[in-house]
Structure 1
Amino acid sequence: MRQSFGERFDVPDGYLNTASIGIPSASAGEAVAAAVAGWRSGAGRAGEYDEYVERARAGFAALVGLGADRVATGPAVSALVGLVAAALPAGARVLVAGGEFTSVTWPFAAQADRGVTVTEVDLAQVGPRAAEFDLVAVSVVQSADGRLVDLDGLRAARGSGTRVLLDATQSLGWLDADLSWADAVVAAGYKWLLSPRGVAWMAVGPELAATPVAAGWFAGADRWAQIYGLPMTLAPDARRLDTSPAWYCHVGAAVALPWLAGLDRSAVHTHCVGLADSFRAGLGMEPAGSAIVSVTRDGAGERLAAAGVVSAARAGAARLAFHLYNTEADVARALDALTP
């Protein structure tokens, strides 16, 4: 059991795979286990889970720097991005990064029959070219290799009328950056936010259209009074985009997100990036300011696995991720595996 930032983590030595699956705190894991035990014994009551949904929503809002009334919840990033894609006018022009994670790009590509075009450019060109497009959809930190997008360039383009959707799945929880200016910020919970898989959130600005194509009872203005029949009366805020929640996922997220939001963001950033840059230095690589490191050496993944280091294979490289429960001992183990 490791202690980090006031929480306990039952994380194994050499676990450097948060970019794939984050390890929950003991508190979050115990909360989910208790909820499942209540389910098994018939103690759970549907209305009681609303409290957990709202705690998690508030935690996400605090991490992004917005009010909870701006945050919608759903099952996955692609489902939430799809609400924005469905609302684009016919013929809209969308800019994305080449090699971007498909949950960000495919919802827009699926609108091709309405004349929506999606243009891929190198990540370094996303900021400079953003003003040429109606909307930019891009990850703050690239899943494959940890590269950061030019947030300043995107913010400037937004000032000239371009809408900006940011996927913060690989950044929120460790990156100390202001994202509150974006038109939409979306993130899945099961990586750096240390929540169960099956829940995601999207903060939506007042100027960005999003269509509640999966509207159901949970999006109602008075959800428990509107579970049958018409007319449809949706919530007046971002909750109108909600879909029915995976209860036990929100139980864990209701512990994880408020805790993460209450940490010193600068200290978390320094810890995570410091470990990653220490690892990079040991391999003779320049610092990159990212908690994700991509290693292209032949056989890197196999050598890491043989040494008990858990990483991921992405885009032909071994991907390592350093979060708040990792230590210099994890860095040393990975370096021992990769250096003579």
Structure 2
Amino acid sequence: MGMDIAGVQGLWDPMPGWLDTASYGLPPRPAFEDLQRALADWRVGRTSWRPWNDATTRARAAFATMMGVPGEDVMVGATVSQMLAPVASSLPPGSRVVLPEEEFTSNLFPWAVSADVRTVPLDHLAEAVDAGTRVVAFSLVQSADGRLAPVDDILSAARAHDALVAVDASQACGWLPVDASRFDVLVCGAYKWLMAPRGAAYGYLSPRARAGMRPTAANWYAGSDPGGSFYGPPLRLAQDARAFDLSPAWFCQVGAAPALELLNEIGIEAVHAHDTALAARFLTALDREPTGSAIVTVDFPDAERRLEAAGIRSSVRAGKVRASFHLYTTPDDVDQAVKALTA
């Protein structure tokens, strides 16, 4: 059972009208305050870096719990493209990767650099997977319009042809319940629905995926004993997903750990119910059908100007207004946005 959302909304301090978590999430107060303390300590040299590094360990564990996977299968990084790069660059030359044509480029360009990329409409992705497909890659939730991928169909097709499945879950983790173990690779930028500072990202790398990967950004933090990996040979990397870690951006991790832990305490099922109910309230009031996503798009005349004039912060994607609803969003935020569009 998750916590009552209304009972925890006081942990955030949003200006009314923030409907743009799909661009960046707002930190809960414990995360913001931990970050302020770390910055104050940094300013005067009050502490070593080790407490900041401990936050990385906490964040990794919290992400693993949220994704339902072992911590040793989780890597720590900074961005989606950086985490996908060693997967893509380890593919044999000429490997075919199939992706949606609408895909956000952080999960397209790394493959295009190293492989033979074929794009098709998301709705036809499963049928495009064939015997020549090495990897099928896609976002669980599309950035542009909030559509949920047909995961079961894509997984069935990939398994039938022994293709690896790599997903970008940046627009899903934090509101959509996700079992990362269903995939070979899952990566997530944490600054959206996980409400962390930008510069923290996490990835699930299955043993199957790791077997074919080269740790092209190997560093001391990826060592089997990071504290004993500062100087000199030989190469001595961790035997699990930590071999692919980046040396962490400390302050991003300081802000990430409390946010991820709070999400686990609340429960993603409860967050999902809250976020999608608000999205449905928004669409229903505009005579649109609810989509089951926390990210929605609407095409209204002069919508961007109307929302801006009312103090509603959202995004425009592909010519449509994109609105997104998360823990700190209230029914009043939704109703004010509807009023601005329909007045």
Corresponding residue for residue 140 of structure 1: 140
**Structure 1: 5+ residue stretches without partners:** none
Deviation by residue 1:39-72 (Cα, 9 ceiling, x = unmatched): 0110131233331111000111111110110001
Corresponding residue for residue 23 of structure 1: 26
Corresponding residue for residue 99 of structure 1: 102
C-alpha contact 1:186 1:201 (8 A) present in aligned 2: yes
Corresponding residue for residue 173 of structure 2: 172
Where 2:129 maps in the other structure, the secondary structure is: helix
Corresponding residue for residue 153 of structure 2: 153
27-36 or 281-290, which deviates more: 281-290
Where 1:331 maps in the other structure, the secondary structure is: helix
Where 2:51 maps in the other structure, the secondary structure is: helix
Q: Classify 1:108/1:335 alpha carbon distance in 2 versus 1 (closer, same or farther; 3 Å).
A: same
C-alpha contact 1:126 1:149 (8 A) present in aligned 2: no
Instruction: Work out the CA distance in 2 between the residues paired with 1:155 and 1:193.
Output: 25
Superposed displacement of residue 316, structure 1: 1.5
Deviation by residue 1:113-139 (Cα, 9 ceiling, x = unmatched): xxx211111111113333452111110
Corresponding residue for residue 184 of structure 2: 183
C-alpha contact 2:100 2:138 (8 A) present in aligned 1: yes
Structure 1 residues 158-307: aligned runs within 5 Å: 158-160=158-160, 161-208=162-209, 209-307=212-310
Instruction: Work out the CA distance in 2 between the residues paired with 1:180 and 1:11.
Output: 34
Letter in 2 for 1:117: D
Corresponding residue for residue 62 of structure 2: 59
C-alpha contact 1:109 1:117 (8 A) present in aligned 2: yes
Where 1:221 maps in the other structure, the secondary structure is: coil
Corresponding residue for residue 123 of structure 2: 124
| TM-score, scaled relative to structure 1 | 0.95
Superposed displacement of residue 6, structure 1: 6.4
Letter in 1 for 2:123: A
Letter in 2 for 1:39: W
Letter in 1 for 2:63: F
C-alpha contact 1:195 1:256 (8 A) present in aligned 2: yes
158-167 or 325-334, which deviates more: 158-167
Superposed displacement of residue 79, structure 1: 0.2
Letter in 2 for 1:136: V
C-alpha contact 1:147 1:290 (8 A) present in aligned 2: yes
Superposed displacement of residue 140, structure 1: 0.3
Where 1:207 maps in the other structure, the secondary structure is: helix
Q: Classify 1:317/1:4 alpha carbon distance in 2 versus 1 (closer, same or farther; 3 Å).
A: farther
Q: Classify 1:38/1:5 alpha carbon distance in 2 versus 1 (closer, same or farther; 3 Å).
A: same
Instruction: Work out the CA distance in 1 between the residues paired with 2:78 and 2:307.
Output: 32
Deviation by residue 1:63-113 (Cα, 9 ceiling, x = unmatched): 1110110001111111001111011111111011112111000001111xx
Letter in 2 for 1:124: D
**Structure 2: 5+ residue stretches without partners:** none
Structure 1 residues 324-339: aligned runs within 5 Å: 324-339=327-342
170-179 or 236-245, which deviates more: 170-179
C-alpha contact 1:3 1:325 (8 A) present in aligned 2: no
Deviation by residue 1:141-191 (Cα, 9 ceiling, x = unmatched): 000110110111122123221210111100110012433210011000110
Q: Identity over aligned residues, as a percent?
A: 42
Letter in 2 for 1:76: T
Where 2:259 maps in the other structure, the secondary structure is: helix
Letter in 2 for 1:174: W
Instruction: Work out the CA distance in 2 between the residues paired with 1:202 and 1:7.
Output: 30
Q: Classify 1:176/1:308 alpha carbon distance in 2 versus 1 (closer, same or farther; 3 Å).
A: same
Instruction: Work out the CA distance in 2 between the residues paired with 1:87 and 1:202.
Output: 16
Instruction: Work out the CA distance in 2 between the residues paired with 1:214 and 1:32.
Output: 27
